[in-house]
Amino acid sequence: MATDSGRAPTASEYIQHHLQNLTWGRHPDGHWGIAHGAEEAANMGFWAIHLDSMFWSILLGSLFCFLFWRAARKASTRVPTGFQNVCESLVEFVDDTVKDSFNGKSALVGPLALTIAVWIFLMNLMDLIPVDFLPEALLRWGGIEYQRVVPTTDVNVTMGMSLSVFALMIFYSIKVKGGKGFLAELTMQPFSSDNKVVQIILMPINFFLEIVALVSKPLSLGLRLFGNLYAGELIFILIALLPFYLQWTLSLPWAIFHILVIVLQAFIFMMLTVVYLNMAHEHH
């Protein structure tokens, strides 16, 4: 990476460059295009799109679908291949997890949990690629100035996933309990009384407490994943600023530790999704 003047970037410029998404949106003068810098991206407002996050997340999601489709087509009752064993182990693990945590009946929860676990793992796995490898290659061969290749370090991606889970929670809460049952769940607990007058008095308090608890679920789900992966990416960027001999000394142990982080964060997101959907299916 070099600045417009040809000099080597400062540490601050290097970090800001690596944390900048490839953003497409509407410029203040009305034309649509790619932002050249953080200020232009901020001026594009809400409808700007992070092209790199969209590209890598869709690519990795498609890769997940292709790999499992291929494993299913090649599946055999004879001696299985190593990849078939991996896919079967993942399916069995997710299936056992769903059976232990989900008490309702739904044909969606199992496949959804498997998709979330593998998709998030693949997106997190991109954090183990050296921070300059893909951005430098895309700049040299494609002229793409900005490139963040870890979709889960973009809060828009993680919150988009968590809001999708939230929408499913609301949908199943209303479907299983009915509109009246869902509203009763928000207004008749945690405080209750046999006295009708007291019930009416407690309704606003219950609603406030329950709506805060409800809204906090997607916020914590999305921000937890974003915060952990963003911090991990930032540490890799800081290590890349060090002298070469220190980079290998520090990056290898951090990468080994980060493998645990990316697996754990994929599992936590999947597990909380199953738990939240189980709560949506429960009657109180």
pLDDT tens digit string along 102-111? Answer: 888 888 999 9
pLDDT at 112 over 90: yes
State which H helix or E strand residue 189 sits in: none
CB 125 within 8 A of CB 263: no
**Mapping DSSP to helix (H, G, I), strand (E, B) and coil, where does residue 194 land?**
coil
Greatest extent of the chain over all pairs of C-alpha atoms, in Å:
77
Rounded to whole angstroms, the Cα distance separating 87 from 99 reads: 18
Beta strand extents in the chain (DSSP E only): 23-26, 32-34, 49-50
Rounded to whole angstroms, the Cα distance separating 114 from 103 reads: 17
Rounded to whole angstroms, the Cα distance separating 213 from 206 reads: 11
Contacts of 81 (CB under 8 A, 6+ apart): 74
Rounded to whole angstroms, the Cα distance separating 120 from 112 reads: 12
Residue of 43, 156, 224, 278 with catalytic role: 224
Contacts of 42 (CB under 8 A, 6+ apart): none
Tokens of 79: 């001696």
Rounded to whole angstroms, the Cα distance separating 151 from 124 reads: 8
Using a pLDDT cut of 70, give the percent of the chain over it: 97
pLDDT at res. 114? 94
| Burial state string for 55-77 with b = 16 or more CB within 10 A and e = fewer than 16 | ebbeebbeebeeebeebeeeeee
pLDDT at res. 251? 86
Residue of 173, 220, 251, 278 with catalytic role: 220
pLDDT at res. 25? 93
Tell me if residue 224 is catalytic: yes
pLDDT at 123 over 90: yes
pLDDT at res. 103? 86
Residue-wise pLDDT tens digits, 81-104: 778 888 889 999 999 999 988 888
Poorest-pLDDT segment among 5-14, 112-121, 252-261 = 5-14
Q: pLDDT band for position 1 (50/70/90)?
A: low
**Mapping DSSP to helix (H, G, I), strand (E, B) and coil, where does residue 34 land?**
strand
pLDDT at res. 105? 83
Does the N-terminal peptide bond of residue 190 adopt cis geometry, omega within 30 degrees of 0? yes
Tell me if residue 76 is catalytic: no
pLDDT at res. 122? 95
- Which has the closest alpha carbon to 228: 117, 121, 124? 124
**Mapping DSSP to helix (H, G, I), strand (E, B) and coil, where does residue 143 land?**
coil
Residue of 57, 124, 162, 228 with catalytic role: 228
Chain centroid offset of residue 54 CA:
12
